[in-house]
């Protein structure tokens, strides 16, 4: 596949909430094949995956796509603190970024998301006009399960610092339901965001456009997880066009050290090229 040069332009995008930091990668010397909007994952997973997102964005740009990487409200260098973030605000951020791409680029627009960013992309696509396709990297399928996993980070921290967890996930969720906010792994989790996360049920949100779903597994030659297959089957039953792929590698969004997954990069370029 031919390679092309590209420029990287950081800027702040004005939104209802305030300024959103963006990194725009624009091919030089010709017409773009289309545009890609990247939606990052939740909390520390965002920082663990920044390198992979940057590598993939550069790969896409070298192949002729314009790529917009967006820091959602309360994340990275965008307006607000993490405790200010809500799912509704993030959907507004996606709308704002999509509008900017529509005004400044030509060709089809693809939403590309990782983990909660993939779940956000599926929901956003139903509210946006003419999304060409979705590229989903390891989507969060059940927000309820994901929230419990996130809260266990706090319990683990309590055990490390005090020798014993002061509460369980059920107690922590009760506090959130009562309107309390608290820190989890250095991120302030508010009650509204917790409710937003718990409501994610990906099987119930039918994508309005073709979907390319890519999953990382430990070894070669595997298949998507049974949980993923159930979502894919539910989508296909209701008319969605879904393709799945698995690649061997490590879950780079949660590894202790910053990790790359070359198979994910190659697979993403192949599915878009096809």
Q: Where are the domains of the chain?
A: 6-141+206-273, 143-199
Predicted confidence (pLDDT) per residue in 155-207, tens digit: 886 665 655 555 688 899 999 999 999 999 999 999 999 999 999 999 999 99
| Greatest Cα pair distance in the chain | 60
Superfamily of domain 6-141+206-273: Alpha/Beta hydrolase fold, catalytic domain (3.40.50.1820)
Integer Cα distance of 58 and 64 in angstroms: 10
For residues 214 and 195, give the distance between their C-alpha atoms in angstroms, rounded to a whole number: 27
> In this structure, how many other beta carbons lie within 10 angstroms of the beta carbon of residue 165?
17
Q: How far apart are CA 20 and CA 258, in angstroms?
A: 25
Contact 110, 165 (CB under 8 A): no
Over residues 26-54, the pLDDT tens digits come to 999 777 899 999 999 999 999 999 999 99
Q: Give me 81's structure tokens.
A: 């603190």
**CA–CA separation, 107 vs 123, rounded Å?**
22
- Give the global pTM: 0.94
Whether 61 shows a pLDDT value over 60: the answer reads yes
């Amino acid at each position: 596949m031919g390679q092309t040069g590209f420029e990287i332009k950081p800027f702040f995008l004005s939104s209802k909430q305030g300024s959103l930091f963006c990194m725009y990668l624009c091919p030089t010397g010709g017409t773009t094949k289309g545009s890609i909007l990247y939606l990052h994952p939740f909390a520390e997973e965002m920082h663990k995956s920044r390198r992979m997102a940057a590598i993939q964005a550069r790969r896409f740009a070298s192949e002729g796509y314009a790529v917009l990487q967006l820091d959602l409200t309360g994340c990275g260098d965008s307006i607000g603190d993490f405790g200010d973030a809500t799912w509704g605000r993030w959907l507004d951020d996606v709308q704002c970024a999509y509008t900017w791409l529509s005004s400044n680029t030509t060709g089809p627009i693809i939403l590309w998301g990782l983990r909660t960013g993939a779940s956000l992309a599926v929901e956003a696509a139903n509210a946006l006009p003419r999304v060409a396709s979705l590229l989903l990297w390891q989507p969060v399928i059940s927000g309820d399960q994901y929230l419990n996993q996130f809260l266990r980070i706090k319990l683990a921290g309590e055990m490390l610092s005090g020798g014993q967890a002061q509460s369980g996930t059920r107690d922590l969720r009760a506090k959130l339901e009562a309107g309390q906010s608290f820190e989890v792994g250095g991120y302030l989790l508010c009650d509204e965001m917790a409710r937003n996360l718990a409501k994610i049920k990906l099987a119930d949100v039918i994508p309005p456009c073709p979907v390319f779903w890519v999953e990382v597994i430990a070894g070669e030659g595997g298949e998507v997880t049974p949980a993923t297959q159930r979502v894919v089957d539910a989508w296909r039953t209701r008319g969605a066009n879904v393709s799945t792929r698995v690649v061997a590698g490590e879950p780079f969004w949660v590894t202790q050290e910053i990790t790359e997954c070359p198979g994910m990069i190659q697979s993403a370029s192949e599915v878009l090229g096809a």
